[in-house]
Structure 1
């Protein structure tokens, strides 16, 4: 039966994918050790704590160019303690209790990265045989054995800072892109978890959610709501102001259907007057008496009749009066044309035609 910590490791293998968030290739002069002759490549692998990783042997791929090579590669784990390096050989046996690294064929698997392995080096070596074509003095070709190696430096990501290299936008020890980073300890086994923002998902919060665009637009929804409220208030204010304005009364709504054939503009012209026409009408009414007095001839004025005492005596049943009676003048009826704004055109023509007829009748009556 496995240890509880190992059980958690196997659960991590099933549910977690191998982490390869950050990987750097070392350029320049590589580290050399006494047991390693020719290092081919050296990379730096950043692995989150509690996650597992997969390694391939680059030296085994390069050795395919050699005429002779070994069938399998050998793996070494180099752990630094102080100023010395301790080397452990990794075989095709499972030894998860110490290193949590398993080797199968020419690949290596790391299950559950821990802070103990931080700074360790996994080395893959491939012995190959290189034959020399230059003969010796005894006409024999010499052969040289060459060992190729590739190294991977392990760095544990623990949500911390990486010294001077870390910035607010880039932290190599924090694999979470859009979310918070936290390390959970469970009975000696640490596991790094990323708590993503609502619009991101994935193991390291690097995948966009389908509805994330709508979620981003929600931040601008208060501005849109404010504009809608202002538009609604403006429409209500305009409607209330429109109700307060005086509108001309329409008699068509109050007349029965049988009277709708009446031409209202012809029979009731004052209903359709504007403010300017009302002002013009009032001015014409004020100027009309002055124009009539200036146009009336002096012969048209009739002398007032006085009642003499002789006539009063001749009439029986009346007493003589010594004082003159004041004449009773009738108000002159205006037979002229009314303002055109108040009368329909037909009524003006009829009044002009009837005026000479009345004059003729008055002439005949005077002759009689």
Structure 2
């Protein structure tokens, strides 16, 4: 439905010819914003990028549904809460050379570009990402590769950004080959929204580019079960047929997945697509994202409500990335009593633990 209550038929009817929506005028033409909203949305667009690819746009039923909320700009984005930070997880402070973030001893991020298929309204890198941002040139890439070669404790390189699957197959292949040639790097991980947000981009050439002799893992970002369209599921199958294991990560978001039913649906959709739920992130406090905030206590209660309700295959780790760049920590929920002598079952009933130490 459009904001005025009429169906958003133009989006679906013209999906074959549709392109990525990027401007406030294009959002208006698609029925995703009202004309009276245009000045405020234009003001937002001057600061934060907008992109809604056709495949994702087809999933939007109303602008404030769990799909629309993730990608349609809101004037609320220009309201910065006191707790919000421009660099909430400390990327800038932990970047020894352009494109590299080194937070943990055995792993490093490589950000070859800061371009995405869509721009999440809750993104923790929203101050940096955009269609004109952050493509590492050959010189900068050479510096990044040299840094990775010199730091022999690095075992895993995580390609992120932006979205590395927005690179051309030729560019991605070059980066993957260079990383695979580093002897002490054993694992390559790619973080992406492309398989579900823009599944048409998962071409044979792109899959060829991802193929190396090193272990390659793909972590796909999805926040709601409806993102798993038939085209998206087929894109995941194409990836998995290449022997690449797929994990899922999500952000706990108000209005998107802040209920037991929504989380259950999301995690079941992942498992049914042979994707293991990996992380459920507590929202990072980026500027203008307060409307998506779910308190940690509520998040813990939601996860506790799913325990015993879904298979362990569908159980992610609920994590907080400590502001300032201090790393991720699990948030629970907890079942072990402080005395270490009893546990609570999924129904809340306490049971004494019998161990050699307690007998």
Q: TM-score range by the shorter chain?
A: under 0.3
TM-score, normalised relative to structure 1: 0.21
RCO comparison, higher one (Cα < 8 Å, 6+) = 2
TM-score, normalised relative to structure 2: 0.21
More strand by share: 1
